[in-house]
Amino acid sequence: MQQVCLLTVVSLFVTSAQCKTPGLQTRITDRALEYATEVALDILSKQVTGQQIPDQHGQSGDVKFDITGMNVKQFTKPSSRVSLIQNVGLSWSTSGTGLAIHGDFKYKYRKGIIKISDHGSFDLKANGINFQIKIEIGMDGTGRPTMKAVGCSCNVGSADIKFHGGAAWIYNLFSGQLENKLKDMVGGGNGLLCKQLNTLIDVNGMKSLQKLPVTVQIAKRFLLDYRFLSKPSFQTKFMETYHKGEVYWNAVPVDAPFAAPPLLKSSDTSRMMYIWLSDYVFNTMSYNALKYNQLQYNVTNKDLPSGVLNTTCPQSTCIGKIIKAIGTKFPNTTVMLYMKSTSMPNMTVQNGSTVVNAAGDIVFFAQQPGGKYTYFLTLSATMSTTISLMIQNEKVFAKVLKLPISVTVKDSKIPVSPEGLNFIVKGIVSVFAEPKLNELGAAGFPLPVINSVHFTNTQLTVAKDTLLIATDLKYSG
């Protein structure tokens, strides 16, 4: 049986008192659960319709009967309600379900010397079917969510059976017993509906949970950890989850030496789902990128407009023309820039803006015959990048808005004028850095969502240390 939206949504958002500040927090509201149950019932209807029912055999007085080939022809959607149970999970109850069942029968009537046998078909309509089931939601030892069906109950209000073919007076001898048998088969804790619901939760639901990305590889080097920090917490109108929200170096997953800051408080429940994303997620990634030497790059002519790093050129836009000492000392060659961060880039989110502050060195080398390089200049650079963020396809995307860069001479073997530094900043560093940053931002940062759940009517709020995503949901299973 396919996964149901109710289970998928529950899969996503499974809090209790946590001992560690989360890097990511989610809230799923009663609006989402109401929507989820409607979709769940649509899918349940498709799964139940056509369901085969085991053959039945019985005897009522002088009549022996066999009921075969039974299947569900119609499922009438009930009214539905989901409530949250503190420290447990969910309670899902319905009322007014209807089922239509078709099957074949044959009977043998024997009394004294009188023997009658016949066969035909029948249609059963069961109405006023109500069921209730609890869903316990927890967490296993690896930080994955778990769910379990508990205490399913189902009762059938009425059943009406119509026979086609044979003698009506004989039907009356066993129709009541047959109706009761079929009511018991549909209702009860071990009946058709409860079996389907238990399978839906314990088997299909757990399969859905296995698809929930609790760890995501980034660029094959980093590991984004969305595992749960604690068991779920349930309030009257919503449930919440708290996730680790940390990025590790994939080969050596060790916690960063700093904690996540407190997340923005909010009591809003007008949307279906809320995701609080801490700047801790980005900062743990930049911490490991610096630690494992990922924030360094050799910039050559292939990374820039043609010829900018040439030391000799007919035009006036190459580095050897702008900084004449380079052209004089290293003619007819090219320059390579070794760029490396000297401190961890730090993201700060506040007052509606997102800023990434970074510092590093830019080391200049001139290429020599035989592939050797000669060092001649080191600049210290600081960068405070303002970025815009957007949510699309359940990912966070970023784009550079402002990229102010300032440089100072740290060490030099040649004289460098202010005009020369200005050229390096505007004509080389900015030209290289901005496209690279936008390339990273365009890759998107994945959120912990199963593929069949999509965001709609999404709003992004930028507050202190927090990106708050408020969204409605659409299931596309």
Question: Is the same domain home to 145 and 231?
Answer: no
What is the rounded average pLDDT for all residues in the chain?
A: 87
DSSP-based three-state secondary structure for 422: helix
Residues 189 and 235 in one domain: no
Instruction: Point out the domain boundary residue: 162, 191, 210.
Output: 210
More confident: 199 or 470 = 470
Q: Which of 170, 190, 210 is the last residue of a domain?
A: 210
Separation between Cα atoms, residue 4 and residue 477, nearest integer Å: 8
Average pLDDT over residues 335-360: 92
pTM value?
A: 0.83
Answer yes or no: is 9 within a domain.
Answer: no
CATH of the domain at 282: 3.15.20.10
pLDDT tens column, 57-69: 888 778 888 889 9
Q: How far apart are CA 430 and CA 446, in angstroms?
A: 27
Tokens (6 digits) for 20? 């560690």
54 and 161 assigned to the same domain: yes
Within a domain: residue 300?
yes
Q: Which residue has the tokens 């970023």?
A: 398
222 and 205 housed in the same domain: no
Q: How many domains does the chain have?
A: 2
Same domain, yes or no: 190 and 124: yes
For 202-250, the pLDDT digits (tens) are 887 787 777 777 888 888 899 999 999 988 899 889 999 999 999 999 9
CA atoms within 13 A on the CB side of 87: 1
**45 three-state secondary structure:** helix
Residue with tokens 């989360």: 22
Residues 56 and 165 in one domain: yes
- The more confident residue out of 255 and 184 is 255
Same domain, 286 and 417: yes
Say whether both 275 and 422 belong to one domain.
yes
Residues 108 and 229 occupy one common structural domain: no
Determine the structural domain holding residue 203 and report its residue range: 49-210
Same domain, 169 and 249: no
Residue positions counted in the chain: 477
The answer on 75 and 53 residing in a single domain is yes
Amino acid 179: pLDDT: 78
What does R_g of the chain's alpha carbons equal in angstroms? 34
Residue 195 lies in a domain: yes
Q: What does the pLDDT average to over 282-290?
A: 95
Q: For residue 358, is it within any domain?
A: yes
Domain containing residue 170: CATH number = 3.15.10.10
